[in-house]
């Protein structure tokens, strides 16, 4: 049976890249799949987080999920640290994955920077916790942005190695010839990699020091308009074919954003706006961005005024998640050969 899982870290500002590459697609998947959406607070602390700020941001990501249209009565919305099975399974996966696999992760290299000796052990183990997030529900599909592709490949490697190493025990316990599914990444749509508004060669990111590089989900209409007006572009008008965007990363990015916001393809956008100057195109982009994002920002603000409600949603979601995760973890303990109470 198909099951969708995805997660978002409660660190820094949620931005348009998180929305178009992930959260907006989480909303769509609800129509066709059972979905589990997680605020990955344990991943957040792989780099230092101020406790009060972390606490607020866990609620803010939850508010963004709900404001965007995720329905916690039909699907599961929760935070990772309330379901201890994630950490338990991550330990088993730490023992399955090889040092070499983790060493190859580009996100680790980027985040650890030059001073690798001083990175947390948790940052190194991050991908195994991510594999556990997904596989503790034996999820089959994971909608993410392009930057998570390598982590999802590692998730498949972990699943495959577990299935191989424990093949005999898996069969003996009645799980056939594979216990974990080989999860499919869903990296789709025009905005799998939204770029910085200041530099078309850099990803839009929560940690960019320039707030003008990104549109935050909490930005008001004036701020959105200003950021789009100031976005870097080249002097040429828009081309009328997508091929014409190839060597123009900033133009390509704005067209991709427009397409994703309006549920269209870049070719459709260029059919309507090819030949336009950026001043005119940016004005249209402001209109669609504000129309789409302002209601979400407003709803997030309303939800954040009632943290008790958000905590209830997370508590109830966690209780539902725990039931599923416990089933997997019991089976894993049996397969590995641990003794547990019956
Ligand atoms: P995180 O919190 O950095 O980002 C959340 C989601 O947003 C996507 N994203 C983008 N998409 C398009 N353009 C961008 N500029 C952009 N920036 C971010 C990310 O790809 C992601 O889908 N490791 C994950 C969190 C995680 C997770 C998981 C995801 C933990 N466990 C299990 C899926 C399944 C992360 O750091 O995402």
Residue among 18, 42, 89 whose CB has most ligand 1 atoms within 8 A, to mutate = 18
pLDDT mean across residues, the chain = 97
**337 touches 168 (CB < 8 A):** no
The arithmetic mean of pLDDT across residues 253-280, rounded, is: 97
The arithmetic mean of pLDDT across residues 215-226, rounded, is: 97
- We report the CATH number of the domain holding residue 297 as 1.10.240.10
Q: Is residue 204 part of a domain?
A: no
224-252 pLDDT, tens digit each: 999 999 999 999 999 999 999 999 999 99
Assess whether 111 carries a catalytic annotation.
Answer: yes
Cβ-count burial 145-179 (b if 16+ within 10 Å, e if not): bebbebbbbbbbbbbebbbeebeeebeeeebeeeb
Asked whether residue 132 falls in the same domain as residue 261, the answer is no
Whether residue 145 is annotated as binding a ligand: the answer is yes
- In the reported structure, the alpha carbon of residue 34 is separated from the centroid of ligand 1 by a whole-number distance in angstroms of 20
Reported confidence tier of residue 12, pLDDT bands at 50, 70, 90: confident
Asked whether residue 83 falls in the same domain as residue 130, the answer is yes
Cα 95 versus chain centre, distance: 25
Whether residue 133 is annotated as binding a ligand: the answer is yes
**How far is the C-alpha of 310 from the C-alpha of 56, rounded, in Å?**
11
- In the reported structure, the alpha carbon of residue 50 is separated from the centroid of ligand 1 by a whole-number distance in angstroms of 21
Asked whether residue 26 falls in the same domain as residue 60, the answer is yes
Q: Is residue 341 part of a domain?
A: no
Assess whether 206 carries a catalytic annotation.
Answer: yes
The arithmetic mean of pLDDT across residues 47-68, rounded, is: 98
- We report the CATH number of the domain holding residue 68 as 3.40.50.620
Asked whether residue 86 falls in the same domain as residue 106, the answer is yes
**How far is the C-alpha of 303 from the C-alpha of 66, rounded, in Å?**
9
**123 touches 112 (CB < 8 A):** yes
Asked whether residue 11 falls in the same domain as residue 146, the answer is yes
Reported confidence tier of residue 43, pLDDT bands at 50, 70, 90: very high
Instruction: Tell me how many domains the chain contains.
Output: 2
Which pLDDT belongs to residue 342?
A: 79
For ligand 1, atom 14, the nearest C-alpha belongs to 17
Asked whether residue 179 falls in the same domain as residue 64, the answer is yes
Whether residue 203 is annotated as binding a ligand: the answer is yes
Which pLDDT belongs to residue 1?
A: 87
Whether residue 115 is annotated as binding a ligand: the answer is no
Asked whether residue 249 falls in the same domain as residue 146, the answer is no
Asked whether residue 139 falls in the same domain as residue 165, the answer is yes
| pLDDT for 168 beyond 90 | yes
Q: At what angle do helices 121-135 and 149-165 cross, to 10 degrees?
A: 70
Catalytic residue among 149, 161, 206, 320: 206
Reported confidence tier of residue 319, pLDDT bands at 50, 70, 90: very high
Asked whether residue 268 falls in the same domain as residue 311, the answer is no
Antiparallel, parallel or unpaired: β 141-143 and 76-79: unpaired
Asked whether residue 176 falls in the same domain as residue 248, the answer is no
In Å, what is the CA distance from 143 to each residue of 33, 149, 165, 322? 12, 10, 28, 22
Catalytic residue among 24, 74, 149, 203: 203
The arithmetic mean of pLDDT across residues 293-304, rounded, is: 98
Q: Is residue 325 part of a domain?
A: yes
Assess whether 246 carries a catalytic annotation.
Answer: no
**39 touches 10 (CB < 8 A):** yes
Q: Which residue has the higher pLDDT, 218 or 13?
A: 218
Asked whether residue 73 falls in the same domain as residue 144, the answer is yes
**From the CB of 7, is ligand 1 less than 6 Å away?**
yes
What tokens does 322 get? 């725990």
138-160 pLDDT, tens digit each: 999 999 999 999 999 999 999 99
Structural domain harbouring 232: 211-302
Q: Is residue 101 part of a domain?
A: yes
User: What percentage of the chain reaches a pLDDT higher than 90?
Assistant: 98
Q: Is residue 206 part of a domain?
A: no
Q: Is the dihedral of CA 89, 90, 93, 94 positive or negative?
A: negative
Q: Is residue 202 part of a domain?
A: no
Cβ–Cβ contacts within 10 Å for residue 12, how many? 17
The arithmetic mean of pLDDT across residues 170-183, rounded, is: 98
| pLDDT for 36 beyond 90 | yes
Instruction: Give the CA diameter of the chain.
Output: 71
Q: Is residue 75 part of a domain?
A: yes
**288 touches 248 (CB < 8 A):** no
Asked whether residue 17 falls in the same domain as residue 118, the answer is yes
């Amino acid at each position: 049976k198909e099951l969708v899982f995805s997660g978002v870290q409660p660190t820094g500002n949620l931005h348009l890249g998180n929305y178009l590459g992930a959260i907006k697609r989480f909303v769509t998947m609800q129509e066709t799949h059972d979905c589990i959406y997680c605020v990955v607070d344990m991943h957040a602390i792989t780099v230092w987080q101020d406790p009060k700020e972390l606490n607020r941001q866990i609620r803010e990501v939850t508010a963004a999920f709900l404001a965007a249209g995720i329905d916690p009565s039909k699907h599961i919305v929760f935070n990772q640290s309330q379901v201890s099975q994630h950490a338990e399974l991550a330990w088993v996966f730490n023992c399955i994955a090889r040092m070499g696999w983790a060493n190859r992760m580009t996100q680790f290299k980027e985040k650890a920077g030059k001073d690798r000796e001083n990175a947390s052990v948790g940052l190194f183990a991050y991908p195994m916790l991510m594999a556990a997030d997904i596989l503790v529900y034996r999820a089959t599909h994971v909608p993410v942005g392009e930057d998570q592709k390598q982590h999802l490949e590692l998730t498949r490697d972990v699943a495959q190695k577990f299935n191989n190493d424990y093949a005999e025990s898996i069969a003996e316990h009645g799980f056939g010839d594979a216990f974990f599914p080989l999860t499919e990444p869903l990296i789709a749509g025009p905005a799998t990699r939204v770029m910085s508004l200041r530099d078309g060669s850099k990803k839009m990111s929560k940690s960019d020091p320039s707030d003008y590089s990104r549109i935050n989900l909490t930005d008001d209409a004036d701020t959105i308009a200003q950021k789009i007006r100031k976005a870097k572009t080249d002097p040429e008008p828009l081309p009328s074919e997508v091929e014409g965007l190839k060597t123009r990363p900033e133009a390509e990015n704005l067209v991709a954003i427009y397409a994703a916001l309006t549920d269209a393809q870049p070719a459709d956008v260029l059919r309507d706006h090819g030949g336009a100057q950026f001043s005119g195109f940016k004005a249209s982009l402001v209109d669609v961005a504000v129309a789409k994002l302002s209601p979400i920002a407003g709803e997030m603000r309303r939800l954040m005024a009632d943290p008790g409600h958000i905590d209830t949603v997370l508590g109830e979601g966690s209780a539902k998640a725990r039931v599923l995760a416990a089933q997997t973890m019991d089976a894993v303990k049996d397969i590995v050969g641990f003794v547990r109470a019956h």
